[in-house]
Amino acid sequence: MKPDRPLRVLRVITWLPVGGIERRLVATLPRFDRERFELSLVCIRERGALADELEAAGIRVDCIPFRKRWDPRALRQLTDLMRERRIDIVHSHMYRSNVPATAAARRARTPVVWAQVHNVGTWETRRQVWIDRWLCRWRTGVIAVSEKVRRDVMATLNLPPERVPVVYNGVDLARFAAARPRRPAVRAREQVGEHDVVFLFAARLVEQKRATDLLTAFADLQQQPGGERLRAWIVGDGPLREQLERQAEALPQPAAVRFFGRRTDVEDFYAAADIFVLPSTREGFSNALVEAMATGAAVIATDVGGNAEAVRDGQDGLIVPPLRVDALRDAMARLAGDAALRRRLADAAAARARRFSLEAMVTQLEELYAESYRRAVAPHA
């Protein structure tokens, strides 16, 4: 059954800080076909820094603060909003939004309800697992951002494969490809020599990202022949920054490590670096990894989450086991010492990144929305 108006889609999220998931929402929602879909968004904590940016792009943003997950007043407000706007499809993100969004959608009798999981091991307690399993009876399904996340969702929530589609994160390929010509200027600005090799880490400075493993491996490389021409750039911020700065100060050549904090021009750092390193112990599907690939950097990533789905080992980059500093160091040494290999892998990575565009992500979601709505209303047509 084809509706005689655009399908009304409500996206539900905790809030809109300057983070990866939230940035992706701001980038993707305005790209949907407005003749087919009418999108709006609700924050259940607070608006956040990106709300104004999203509204400027023509997407309505509301805030219904939940004091707790089962806040009856806020749940009633969310339900009423869905009813008043005659929402056809609810699409929520992460456990803290998935729970109230599903409950409100059930009360509002919304035909299609999608929850989305962005990482493996999302559930913190057995109680959370039980609640999510119970709520799945009222969901169309759960969207996963990678096959690894999909398998985790299926095993945890006891869902069949057909109820857990994979929608890979998309990135703005044009933005990152456009940064490549700025490489010489950025390297000159940061006083990097023509023959220096720059390793880049760009992520939150938290335990699961394992920037400490990068610095440990980098310390070993500094003591090998040619170590004096190696550089390490750390872009990002977080609770481990002071600890990482102390670790860097203890290196044989501490001046070779630089901390840049959180940046809005991260694409320039991708372009200026030679090798992007992501040594995480936990990922869903890394935006930063695909962004670095799109910018034309050679990449090294650990075999966690969707990393090995984005990067095919030896073809588009190098994949190493997590928490194996020796394997990470050897991969870093291999690429640092072989410029031809770096160029080959960087070119292949840039080509591979085209699979993960914002446009591809939006198209897949549009198809998923339309098909799931058609199936939901068909028995009642």
**pLDDT confidence of 17, banded at 50, 70, 90?**
confident
Which of 79-83, 120-124, 271-275, 325-329 has the weakest average pLDDT?
A: 120-124
Phi/psi for 4 (5° steps) reads -90, 15
19 pLDDT more than 90: no
- Provide the CB-side half-sphere exposure for 96 (13 A, CA): 11
Does residue 72 register a pLDDT over 90? yes
Tell me what the mean pLDDT of segment 291-299 comes to.
Answer: 96
Can you name the residues that pair with 302 across neighbouring β-strands?
A: 320
339's tokens: 């410029």
**What does the pLDDT look like over 141-183, one tens digit per residue?**
999 999 999 999 999 999 999 999 999 999 999 999 999 999 9
Please write the tens of the pLDDT for every residue from 3-16.
Answer: 678 999 999 999 88
What's the pLDDT tens digit per position in 321-341? 999 999 999 999 999 999 999
Tell me how far apart the alpha carbons of residues 100 and 103 are, in angstroms, rounded to a whole number: 5
Say if residue 80's pLDDT is above 90.
yes
Using an 8 Å Cβ cutoff, are 215 and 247 in contact? yes
The predicted structure's pLDDT at residue 314:
96
Give per-residue pLDDT as tens, 193-247: 989 999 999 999 999 999 999 999 999 999 999 989 999 999 999 999 999 999 9
Query: Measuring CA to CA, which residue among 301, 324, 325, 332 is closest to residue 227?
Result: 332
Q: What is the pLDDT of residue 2?
A: 57
Tell me the fold of 173-356. Rossmann fold (3.40.50)
Q: Please list the residue range(s) of the chain that carry CATH number 3.40.50.2000.
A: 7-170+358-380, 173-356
Q: Is the pLDDT of residue 258 over 80?
A: yes
| pLDDT-based confidence at residue 48 (cuts at 50, 70, 90) | confident
Mean pLDDT of the chain: 95
The amino acid that residue 238 corresponds to is G
The DSSP bridge pattern shows strands 141-144 and 60-63 to be unpaired
Residue 1 has pLDDT above 80, yes or no: no
Backbone angles phi, psi at 233, to 5 degrees: -110, 130
**For the domain 7-170+358-380, what is the CATH superfamily, name and number?**
Glycogen Phosphorylase B; (3.40.50.2000)
The distance in angstroms from the start CA to the end CA of the chain is 7
Quickly count: other Cβ atoms within 10 Å of residue 184's Cβ. Answer: 12
Quick: pLDDT tens for 84-139. Answer: 999 999 999 999 999 999 999 999 999 999 999 999 999 999 999 999 999 999 99
The pLDDT of residue 24 is 85
Dihedral sign from CA coordinates of 64, 70, 75, 76: negative
H, E, C per residue of the chain: CCCCCCEEEEEEECCCCCCHHHHHHHHHHHHCCCCCEEEEEEECCCCCCCHHHHHHCCCEEEECCCCCCCCHHHHHHHHHHHHHCCCCEEEEECHHHHHHHHHHHHHHCCCEEEEEECCCCCCCCHHHHHHHHHHHHHCCEEEECCHHHHHHHHHHHCCCHHHCCECCCCECHHHHHCCHHHHHHHHHHCCCCCCCEEEEEECCCCHHHCHHHHHHHHHHHHCCCCHHHEEEEEECCCCCHHHHHHHHHCCCCHHHEEEEECCCCHHHHHHHCCEEEECCCCCCCCHHHHHHHHHCCEEEEECCCCHHHHCCECCCEEEECCCCHHHHHHHHHHHHCCHHHHHHHHHHHHHHHHHHEHHHHHHHHHHHHHHHHHHHHHHHC
pLDDT value of position 50: 87
Residue 21 scores a pLDDT above 90: no
22 pLDDT band (50/70/90 cuts)? confident
Nearest-10 Cα torsion for 175, 177, 179, 183: 170
Residue % of the chain over a pLDDT of 70: 98
